[in-house]
Chain A
Amino acid sequence: MATTITMPQLGETVTEGTVAQWLKKVGDSVDKYEAFVEVSTDKVNAEVPSPVTGTIREVLVKEGETVATGTPIAVIDEVGAAAQSAAAPAAPAHASAPAPAAPPSSNGAGKTSAVSADVESALRGASPAVRRLAREHHLDVRTIKGTGTNGRVTADDVLAAASMGPSAAVGQAITSAPPSTPSAPKAPPPAGTSTYGEPIPGTTIPLTQARRIIAERMVESKHTAPHAWSMVEIDVTNVWKWRSREKDRFERETGYKLTLLPFFIRAVVESLAAFPLMNGKFTADGIYVNKDVNVGIAIGLATNLVVPVIKNADQLSIKGLAIAAGELIDKARRNKLGVDDLAGGTFTVNNNGANGSWASAPIINGGQAGIVTMETVVKKPVVREDDSIAIRSMMNSCLSLDHRVVDGYVASGFLADLKKRLEKMGPEGTL
């Protein structure tokens, strides 16, 4: 007997889905509950398990193609049915005929996907607390991994997802996305498209889940938090000298490069201690001042942005920060960051200057009060207080702040404090 598989409905309001990847090809056998196709929507990525054991007879939708939910996407010959259909001459002709366009019967819909059923039941099982918290944190319950009984999404799961912030949500989406089957052949991108890594002019790059979530979170943050912006110029000559003197030995001893980043983070955490509101967040109940100081460091990768977090950064020396940052950057580049690495940030540092940026206006990581940048260090002639002119290493530092949490008084105080601390650092000292 042939079973027609239809595009599952992966969410209450979802009306269509994209075949991301066929994990089985025509002629492959498939076990009941074995995943045979990966489907993505703008909400979730999901592997669709087979409702029957059999052989893939026909694939009706190409990879990359988006169809309405309920549209037939494949036909599977159930075990025992193959011999039967071979015996019946009409069967192959029927098999090659276009799949019925009629919407599936309720019976058929029930067979579509266990994943679909799970996602739907997760939504139905969402408690009042889960629904409220998800709404407050602008999260979709269906995208959160549940740890409760039978995989129910609990309120703690929502809070954990919320605490991860936007970059963590990306990481979670990435890490929770079903692993692709290595043996499955990669289909060429549809005509007129290219990939993020190899963009071709005149083509459209299909959105990956990570790209889509980054986009959503950026819009959300910009939409939710009224951003204000400020900048200071900092004389980092002495820090630069200190770092230059230590960097070779440091790399030899630890294996990590010593950049200006850990010096900067050290000064940031000290300034956060002096201006704790900058380490807070806006909530419906009031401004929550975080106890922990967990500094996210924005790392741009070839295809997306990640912001792993140095936990309790205020408890680390410059050396400790350098190693922690080095480990995270290394993991990010090897695509080994886990959800834990991305969770819990309370403030973010953006190392824009690495690419030569002189000033930038970053978007705040949602659920935080600010993001500060370290821009490129340039040698400039500087008029000093005694009216002498000297060549100094100068760096701009820019702050985007959530104006709901702090006003200019606190924000500019924070920046001025940061400047003062960095200018006092070096050229001697212990890392």
Chain B
Amino acid sequence: MAVSSSSATSTVMNNVEAVRATLYEALKNDDRTVILGEDVGARGNVFLITKDFINEFGPQRIIDTPIAEASIVGIAVGMAMEGLRPIAEIQFADFIYPAFNQIVGEAAKTRYRSNGEYTCPLVIRTPYGGGVRGALSHSVSIEALFYHVPGLKIVAPAFPADVKGLLNTAIDDNDPVLFLEHKKTYRLIKGEVPDGHYTIPFGKANVLKEGTQLTVVSYGLYVHWALEAAQKLQLEEGLSVEVIDLRSIRPMDKGAILRSVEKTRKLLVIHEDNKFGGIGAEISAMVAENALFHLDAPIRRLCAPDVPAMGYALPLEEEYMSSPAEMADAMREMVKF
């Protein structure tokens, strides 16, 4: 069990270990917490996140479900409205569509339609994103599909410490939260994770690197690559790029973005999801609405092309995804604009 030792102030973990540790502590700390999803019980999840949980917490709290996403979320909504704290897992984000109505039509609207009488304290965890040769059905980014829906919070942490703090906040939240875990960061990204229970509020972006010539906003896996590109440009070419990790997509930290853009006067949004109608479009519009007279360059979005899915073939996957080199090129062009 990768639960932190009480004697240390922090423990080095990767992202998947941070998810596992946080879920374990939630189960330990609150009997109302239940986990349900495909293979979360006996199999211990495809990434072994819930391995052995069923032995400790039993099949009443670690519930294996049929391959029926609408059912997973639908049941979880009922549990949440009746006083439990369900954490529903969609094994891969690509398979969330059957549960769309349960998430958008039911969970997100519960508090509003009951005039506050009912809440829906539900966390829907799901691995998303590409770069792992997951091909058509195991590489998708889904954030923009749910982004449009008031009543739903969407979180996409990039670092292990943020995974724990934000997942704790999601579990504590009395409304539904879609918790997105980039699967390529699961084992790739390691970092210090504070011991004990702590939370990170939603809607607080993290300025990972300060800069004066360009603001880059991203989240998930691409935050790491954007940071790498910005640091390289700083070191080798003296370009000063500010990198902001959104962490929570909705609510979004508009203030952090605007403050940064007012300083740097240029904005590049980088995300893995398709460009058309994506998060970048919303951020661009928000900045154009609020900071037009601070802009010294057209806002630019570096995103996936408008194709329906990521291909399996390596060249197709690479074409779909951005790379640190492409990010550096875009940053350089914008700084020099």
Contacts and interface: CB of A to CB of B under 8 A. Distances in A.
A69 B112 CA distance: 66
Interface string A131-156: 11000000000000000110010111
A130 interface: yes
Residues of A contacting B: mostly: helix
Nearest to A131: B293
Contacts of B224: none
> Which residue among B292, B293, B294 has the maximum number of chain A CB atoms within 10 Å of its CB?
B293
A129 B265 contact: yes
Contact of A127 (B297, B333, B336): B297
B294 A148 contact: no
Interface in A137-179: 148-149, 152, 154-156
Contacts, number: 29
Contacts of A127: 265, 295-297
A128 interface: yes
Contacts of B292: 128
B302 to A, nearest CB: 18
B337 A152 contact: yes
A203 B214 CA distance: 54
B296 A129 contact: yes
Contact of A128 (B295, B333, B336, B337): B295
B320 to A, nearest CB: 28
Contacts of B295: 127-129
Contacts of A154: 296, 337
B337 A148 contact: yes
> Which residue among A128, A129, A149 has the maximum number of chain B CB atoms within 10 Å of its CB?
A129
Contact of A130 (B296, B333, B336): B296
Interface in B280-337: 292-297, 333, 336-337
A128 B293 CA distance: 5
A128 B292 CA distance: 6
B336 A149 contact: yes
B337 A149 contact: yes
A371 B333 CA distance: 42
B259 to A, nearest CB: 13
Nearest to A154: B296
Nearest to B288: A128
Nearest to B297: A127
What is the interface residue range for chain A against chain B?
10 to 19
B337 A129 contact: no
A156 B240 CA distance: 13
B242 to A, nearest CB: 15
A181 to B, nearest CB: 33
B293 A148 contact: no
B265 to A, nearest CB: 5
Contacts of A155: 265, 296
Contacts of A148: 336-337
A156 B295 CA distance: 12
B291 to A, nearest CB: 9
Contacts of B336: 148-149
What is the interface residue range for chain B against chain A?
10 to 19
Contacts of A149: 333, 336-337
Nearest to B336: A149
A156 B239 CA distance: 14
Interface string A70-109: 0000000000000000000000000000000000000000
Nearest to A136: B293
A129 B291 CA distance: 9
B18 to A, nearest CB: 40
A131 B295 CA distance: 10
A6 to B, nearest CB: 33
Nearest to A130: B296
B11 to A, nearest CB: 42
A265 to B, nearest CB: 31
Interface string B255-298: 00000000001000000000000000000000000001111110
A258 B295 CA distance: 49
Contacts of B294: 128-129, 132
A152 B298 CA distance: 13
A159 to B, nearest CB: 10
A108 B332 CA distance: 39
Contacts of B297: 127
Contacts of B296: 127-130, 154-156
Nearest to B294: A129
B329 to A, nearest CB: 14
Nearest to B213: A156
A149 B265 CA distance: 16
Interface string A116-130: 000000000001111
Contacts of B333: 149
> Which residue among A127, A131, A149 has the maximum number of chain B CB atoms within 10 Å of its CB?
A127
A145 to B, nearest CB: 15
A156 B292 CA distance: 16
A130 B294 CA distance: 8
A156 B264 CA distance: 10
B152 to A, nearest CB: 34
Contacts of B293: 128-129, 131-132
Contacts of A128: 292-296
Contacts of A152: 337
A127 B334 CA distance: 13
A375 B66 CA distance: 93
A128 B265 CA distance: 10
Interface string B111-135: 0000000000000000000000000
A129 B295 CA distance: 5
A154 B212 CA distance: 14
A372 B77 CA distance: 74
Contacts of A156: 296
A335 B292 CA distance: 41
B288 to A, nearest CB: 10
A82 B182 CA distance: 73
Nearest to A152: B337
A146 to B, nearest CB: 11
A135 B293 CA distance: 11
B267 to A, nearest CB: 12
A155 B262 CA distance: 11
Interface in A212-255: none
A137 to B, nearest CB: 14
Contacts of B265: 127, 129, 155
7 contacts: A127-B265, A127-B296, A127-B297, A128-B294, A149-B333, A154-B337, A155-B296
Identify the 8 closest CB pairs spanning chains A and B, nearest first. Answer: A155-B296, A129-B296, A132-B293, A127-B296, A128-B293, A129-B265, A155-B265, A128-B292
Interface of B: 265, 292-297, 333, 336-337
Given A128-B296, A155-B296, 14 more contacts: A127-B265, A127-B295, A127-B297, A128-B292, A128-B294, A129-B293, A129-B294, A130-B296, A148-B336, A148-B337, A149-B336, A149-B337, A152-B337, A156-B296
